[in-house]
Structure 1
Amino acid sequence: MTPFAFTIFAGAFLLFLIQPLIGKFLLPLFGGAPGVWTTCLLFFQSLLLGGYLYAHLSTKWLSVRSQAILHLSLIVTAISLLPIAPPPGWKPDNLGDPTPQILSILLRTIGLPYLALAGTGPLLQHWFSRKHPDASPYRLYSLSNLGSLLALVSFPLFLEVQFNRKINAVLWGWGLVVYAISCVVCVKSFWRFTFESPSTSISRAPRNSNSAPLSLYQRLLWLLLPASASALLMATTNKICQDVAVVPLLWLLPLGLYLLSFIICFDNPLWYKRLPFYVLVMISWFGIQWLLTQGAGVSILVSVSILSSGLFLCCMVAHGELYRLKPLPSQLTEFYLSISAGGVLGGIFVAVIAPLVFHDYSEWRFGLLASGLLFLVVLARDLKQIKHPKLTFCVCVGLLIGLVTLCRTVWTANSNLEAVKVYESRNFYGRLTIEKSGDETTGQGCFRLIHGKTVHGMQFFRPSDNVPTLYYAEDSGVGLTFAALSQANRRVGVIGLGIGTLVTYGRPGDCFRYYEIDPEVIRLAKARFTCLANTTSKVEVSVGDARLSLTGESGQNFDLLVLDAFSSDAIPVHLLTREAFITYGRHLKTNGVIAVHISNHYLDLESVLINVAKHFDYRVLVVENGNLSKKWWVSPSTWVLLSRNESFMSDPNLEIASRPAKKYTASIPLWTDDFVSLFQIIKSEAAPVVNEFSLNQIAKANELCKRRDFAGAVEVYRHALREQPNAPELLNKLAWLLATSPNLSIRNGRDAALLAEKACELTHYQVAGPIETLGAAYAESGRFQEAIKMATKANILGAESGDVGLHPELLERYRLKKAVGR
């Protein structure tokens, strides 16, 4: 069994590894639009079905030896077509819908290898069942799903991190060679076996092949059960990743649970117990109903846990029932063909039909209810054949009640949310919503444009009240950039339209050129909002992916290029590679500025841009606005400004508002079209700690300071930081002591600066105390210009927040080049 097991595992691993790998080659070529990956998935599902059909027809029409010769020929031909990458220098044309071009290049680069690998599972299981008719081949199917799961997890967590896409393509090619060798070993084992023992089972049909014909009901369930699981997988993924939490790589969780249910159910029939799992499904439904009635008050962790549990339990029932309906090995390839066809049907419903029919993610509700109804039908039909009919009948009644209450809850919960929505649509690029807050009759309130979970723009009811809002406020990074730029005839490029908020900074003679990939965003910005209509500046809008558009345009000579292209709360990665910034540089004036909006809960994009700045010799300013003034129309934001314009970068307002680039951040390679890794920049820093332990240690150190035992206080703080290294208060207190201690012998400006910088980073440079301490540390180190900047910033923040514990007089000492107490 070992050669067959290894070959099936390797085939499944390579099959699922090639999917994200080829996607990395195509995304930069076609602009990184979500539709690129959707088209790839359509190709993968279709060719997977093609591979299963190839295996089924081969086993039906060809002898075992002919099957082996054909399959090995396909593999050898596939190896001859390596590497799996678009031809060097190949570029798509930008005419019309790119879908045909994507499908064409996929077919040319990975079509044959993918088809051969897709047919591996059913074909080799058929060979195994012919050679070992007394052994079940279905555990091999479980093993193939384990290989698929391992490939999906290993690519983003290891292979993508360690190697660029070209090296990964080469490694994949060598993996295909190893797979081919293992296929030869399998063929040799039964080929020699056939030659030496012509009377054995390999040369004849398996036992019980003349079994009763399959019923239409059984064949229908072979199709519908996997279809329900596939639809629920994709719908739940959409629900979790776009409606609940926009977390990078979170899509791995539902897909991993889906594959895990296959692994468990097909490994051993003892794992799936029908009635207990039906009861667990009902419990998960009640959990989902609770979640829907709670609105937005539930934490992300709880929401994701409930939705994922519901998906896993439904998949366990679907795949457990599917395993109960498994045929004899003689019908194995037809069984797998039906499973694949069901998966394609579920995928078509979610990926193709749902966006055309629904304005929101209603396919999740329909998928959930359809799955429950299917489970009820399956259980009810088997009532007379079950050992405990009364108990099963009670479970059926419970399922029916659960379905009715679930149906009522999912629709009433959804309708309750409509109170603030004035418009909703969904297309190829995602879901757009316009929400209203306040009373339109009094003019008090606003409209908001929301893409998924991200607010793209906000406008007051009265156009006369409109000022830059949200992340674009006057004290934000981009607001200060406009204030610092030359005020005459500015040419501004903006990647990402939203509602066009940035044109509120425009003046007569200015020109704003927007790049927007979603035509619906453009329509709504013009029809439902007034920023574009009311500006006195010239406005141009280019439809399509920004990078592709800029690549095809002559130099635009921008004074300012703004990157604000949100896609699931993160800038599409193909806009942050070395090649992308080469393109931006071609369109930028010599003294032009690039402003990148990196506000993000989960990704540390700052480290990516620091690498860009080093590579292209840009100066960097990071402007983090925490909205300490508490204006309700302003959102906290982080902007990174890149420029070689010394005059602009030395603007006093920008210098005061900016902070140093983070030192305690991920060390990653420069992103290129060949190498991008989200896993490396997922924020992992611990939350700042302020608790009873910290307060006790501070009190203890204060007592020592009162007794003039400053060295003892330093030791208390150092010991406390070994226990809690991310406690801003402890870091700040120790840094202040090392920078200002009356005992000059324990002063250490360098260590004080390092500690204060970490405290400032943990508090995002939005708390005046650590910033004042950092100024004192810089002064102690002789870095008076930086000390002046930090003291000024601390005084401004202190005035805004009402902090009365500061020392504004220190600013004057630093101007005189005097440290504290010296």
Structure 2
Amino acid sequence: MPLFATTVFLSAFLLFQIQPIVGKMILPWFGGSSSVWSTCIVFFQAELLLGYAYVHWLHEKLPGRRQALVHGGLLLLSLVTLPVVADPVWKGTAMAHPGLSVLAVLATAVGAPYLLLSTTGPLMQAWYARSHSASLTTARPYRLYALSNLASMLGLLSYPVLIEPLLPVGAQLMSWSAAYAVFVVTCVATAVLAWHRMAPPAVAHPAELAAAPPPGWRECLLWIGLSATPSILLLAMTRHLTQDVAPVPFLWVLPLSIYLLSFILCFDAPRYYVRPVFLAALPLALVAMDSVLDSGMDVPLLIGLLCACLFIFCMVCHGELVRRKPPVRHLTLFYLMLSVGGALGGLLVGLVAPAIFTAYFELPLGLFLCAALVVTVLWRELRPVWRGLLLVTLLGYGWRLGDISQEYVQGYRRVVRNFYSQLRVQDSTDAALGPQRTMLHGRINHGEQYTALAHRRQPTAYYCEKSGIGRAIRSLPQAQPLKLGVVGLGAGTLSVYGRAGDEMRIYEINEQVLDLARSEFSYLADTPARIVPVLGDGRLMLEREAPQQFDLLAMDAFSGDSIPTHLLTLEAIQTYLGHLKPEGLLAIHITNHYLDLRPVMAAAAQHFGRTALLYKLQPEDNDAYCSHSIWVLFMRPESESSLPASLQGGERLVPRPGFKPWTDSFSNLLGILK
């Protein structure tokens, strides 16, 4: 037992440790979008499905000893794929199909090792059952599944706490590759032990194992549904967190750890799934999610509520799964159906939903499926009157979710969605300034315009004359043409500041943003400046270009309150500074509900010997055109003593003692939560 347990523990630990490592490495290559993590999960679930299918085939078609020989040989062959590393050639080269590109880079980087790791849990359980066929009542191979989920959760939780702060990404990959080699040795040793203990090749299955009848197709469909629903909810709720806060490993790891914890508790012992308690808590969780879908809330409350609800959903679905687990003879089929459900759920959220939905309908859909599955599970146990009551309640809940889903798209001029985001264009009327048009990403304003002729050329919101960026552009020399760079287009508001002879080079990763800026807003069409749009991730595009000699470069590429951390690292800022004229200004927009980015800015400025001045437009200072905003300007220290009048009054940022600058290998969101 210790050797089987060690092999299962090590495989599961490595299986889930590699996910945030590779996800963090490739995140900057695809614009820092939260969808990168969803697509990574799709890949890992698909690999898990392939692994479980391989184990089921092995279990059903080959005698025990031959299984050990085949699997041991594949493990040794997989060593030639080491070390695991993602090929940088994928950087920004496939922006037309980013989802497929993420899958491709993951397949080439970790495909073979991950596939073999994914087979270990069910295969070790099957081998353990075979080698203890005389005492199946005490062997309890299903407990190895609980152990594997415990190791998975430890692998995830240890990453943001221990691995990420201590090691750069390259060292993380090399360390993981070395640990994988140790796993191969351990697994081969387990295969040798199993080969000696299992029945000879002439006996395909011990009599005790072969006697159990196979489950029917209805039971298999129920297994799939109970597995797919928490997978949908996991990814949809993670997307909600990572889009509105930040696409970082910590917020990937937390929901996934809760998901795994439910597996641990349910598969370790049935007593942890106290059915009456969790079934009673389920309606409360469904009602609580109504608040998440229908309104915003503070970050700690949002994270706590989402995690508590997710735990209840997963405990109910996985608890009901365990209540229906088959005899050990059919455990590989059981795990295969679980992996089918997980892969289908991941596929829906990660790839299908961005392609066919205009809004984030997958979360309401997952909530309804969860409620419907519970009704299905309980149906035969209830009296007719309770069946009718549950059915009416389910239909009412579905109606409510439908109303919320309709609110995602009703009342807007345009609603579009792709891999990078969901965007909405909304018309409204201001009592003083007349018709107003706004571009929204989630609940965040990404640019607005007053469409009346008298006001349509006025800069608005975060970009008005009183904002940090407005003051910075007005401070530039006006006697000569200017060259301005902008990373993040939005509605195109900053083009208002362009004059005849000026050039404004605008970097935008999302083609839908450019389409909406051109078709729904008139800023780009009205400006006399020359507009040069560049499609692609702003940082990657700037890294490839010759120095642009910008008079000012404005960084405003954040999606809602989500921070693509790769845009704020020392390596990124060094790239930006390299594109400025000697006296050029770097302006970074750091307005955020949840994160205080001032320490990040101060540490970077100190590293490069620059002065960082903060310009905060308070709500009480706003005029009709302005919104609350915070901009930081990077400049040479000698420029601070001779600032023009428009830039007087900025707050000089002072580094926080002990705060570590962000790099491509290190960033810490926990340290800057408000």
TM-score, normalised relative to structure 1: 0.75
SS in 2 for 1:567: coil
SS in 2 for 1:617: coil
Q: Which residue does 1:597 correspond to in 2?
A: 589
SS in 1 for 2:124: helix
Q: Quote how far apart the aligned CAs of 1:56 are.
A: 1.5
Q: Quote how far apart the aligned CAs of 1:305 are.
A: 4.6
Distance between the aligned counterparts of 1:377 and 1:89, measured in 2? Answer: 49
The partner residue of 2:143 within 127, 130, 139 is 139
- Does 2:447 match 1:457? yes
- Does 2:272 match 1:266? no
Q: Which residue does 1:727 correspond to in 2?
A: none
The partner residue of 1:584 within 564, 576, 579 is 576
Distance change in 2, residues 1:204/1:29 (3 Å): same
The partner residue of 1:421 within 403, 407, 412 is 412
Q: Quote how far apart the aligned CAs of 1:69 are.
A: 2.9
Q: Quote how far apart the aligned CAs of 1:499 are.
A: 0.7
Distance between the aligned counterparts of 2:410 and 2:220, measured in 1? Answer: 45
Q: Which residue does 1:18 correspond to in 2?
A: 18
Q: Which residue does 1:748 correspond to in 2?
A: none
- 8 A Cα contact 1:622 1:641, kept in partner: yes
Q: Which residue does 1:438 correspond to in 2?
A: 429
SS in 2 for 1:270: helix
- Does 2:341 match 1:359? no
- 8 A Cα contact 2:126 2:332, kept in partner: yes
Q: Which residue does 2:173 correspond to in 1?
A: 169
Distance change in 2, residues 1:416/1:83 (3 Å): closer
Q: Which residue does 1:315 correspond to in 2?
A: 314
Letter of the 1:653 partner, please give it. Answer: A
Deviations 1:28-87 (A, max 9, x none): 444434554444333222211111112122222223333223333333333343221135
Distance between the aligned counterparts of 1:38 and 1:413, measured in 2? Answer: 23
- Does 2:673 match 1:683? yes
- 8 A Cα contact 1:607 1:666, kept in partner: no
Q: Which residue does 1:485 correspond to in 2?
A: 476
The partner residue of 2:524 within 532, 553, 568 is 532
SS in 1 for 2:582: strand
Q: Quote how far apart the aligned CAs of 1:341 are.
A: 0.9
Distance between the aligned counterparts of 2:657 and 2:625, measured in 1? Answer: 30
- 8 A Cα contact 2:492 2:517, kept in partner: yes
Letter of the 1:683 partner, please give it. Answer: L
Letter of the 1:562 partner, please give it. Answer: A
Q: Which residue does 2:69 correspond to in 1?
A: 69
- Does 2:510 match 1:509? no
Distance between the aligned counterparts of 1:24 and 1:607, measured in 2? Answer: 22
Distance between the aligned counterparts of 2:232 and 2:247, measured in 1? Answer: 21
Q: Quote how far apart the aligned CAs of 1:257 are.
A: 2.5
Q: Quote how far apart the aligned CAs of 1:192 are.
A: 4.2
Distance between the aligned counterparts of 2:411 and 2:140, measured in 1? Answer: 57
The partner residue of 2:156 within 152, 155, 167 is 152
Letter of the 1:116 partner, please give it. Answer: L
- 8 A Cα contact 2:232 2:348, kept in partner: yes
SS in 2 for 1:536: coil
Q: Quote how far apart the aligned CAs of 1:7 are.
A: 1.7
- 8 A Cα contact 1:599 1:639, kept in partner: yes
Q: Which residue does 1:659 correspond to in 2?
A: 651
- 8 A Cα contact 2:247 2:562, kept in partner: no
Distance between the aligned counterparts of 1:303 and 1:375, measured in 2? Answer: 25
Q: Quote how far apart the aligned CAs of 1:263 are.
A: 1.4
SS in 2 for 1:620: strand
SS in 2 for 1:638: strand
Distance between the aligned counterparts of 2:80 and 2:225, measured in 1? Answer: 39
Q: Which residue does 1:546 correspond to in 2?
A: 538
Distance change in 2, residues 1:138/1:654 (3 Å): farther
Letter of the 1:254 partner, please give it. Answer: P
- 8 A Cα contact 1:30 1:548, kept in partner: no
Q: Which residue does 2:372 correspond to in 1?
A: 373
Distance between the aligned counterparts of 1:90 and 1:219, measured in 2? Answer: 39
Q: Quote how far apart the aligned CAs of 1:278 are.
A: 2.6
Q: Quote how far apart the aligned CAs of 1:24 are.
A: 2.7
Q: Which residue does 1:798 correspond to in 2?
A: none
Q: Which residue does 1:60 correspond to in 2?
A: 60
Distance change in 2, residues 1:505/1:334 (3 Å): same
Q: Which residue does 2:191 correspond to in 1?
A: 187
- 8 A Cα contact 1:261 1:316, kept in partner: yes
Q: Quote how far apart the aligned CAs of 1:570 are.
A: 3.8
Q: Quote how far apart the aligned CAs of 1:291 are.
A: 6.3
Distance change in 2, residues 1:431/1:178 (3 Å): same
Distance between the aligned counterparts of 2:539 and 2:216, measured in 1? Answer: 55
Structure 1 segments unaligned to the other structure (5+ residues): 384-388, 685-822
Distance change in 2, residues 1:473/1:87 (3 Å): closer
SS in 2 for 1:279: helix
SS in 1 for 2:295: helix
Distance between the aligned counterparts of 2:543 and 2:414, measured in 1? Answer: 34
SS in 2 for 1:642: strand
SS in 2 for 1:465: coil
- 8 A Cα contact 2:424 2:440, kept in partner: yes
Deviations 1:294-335 (A, max 9, x none): x53765555555544443323222212211221111211111
- Larger CA deviation: 136-145 vs 272-281: 272-281
Q: Quote how far apart the aligned CAs of 1:513 are.
A: 1.0
Distance between the aligned counterparts of 2:260 and 2:434, measured in 1? Answer: 51
Q: Quote how far apart the aligned CAs of 1:562 are.
A: 0.8
Distance between the aligned counterparts of 1:607 and 1:683, measured in 2? Answer: 11
Q: Quote how far apart the aligned CAs of 1:344 are.
A: 0.8
Q: Quote how far apart the aligned CAs of 1:107 are.
A: 2.6
Letter of the 2:353 partner, please give it. Answer: A
Q: Which residue does 2:255 correspond to in 1?
A: 254
Distance between the aligned counterparts of 2:618 and 2:37, measured in 1? Answer: 35
Deviations 1:373-424 (A, max 9, x none): 22212221x33xxxxx55xx56544432331221222233454676753332
- 8 A Cα contact 2:433 2:455, kept in partner: no
Greater Rg over alpha carbons, structure: 1
Distance change in 2, residues 1:307/1:627 (3 Å): closer
- 8 A Cα contact 1:279 1:395, kept in partner: no
Letter of the 2:588 partner, please give it. Answer: V
Matches within 5 A, 1:768-787: none
SS in 2 for 1:469: coil
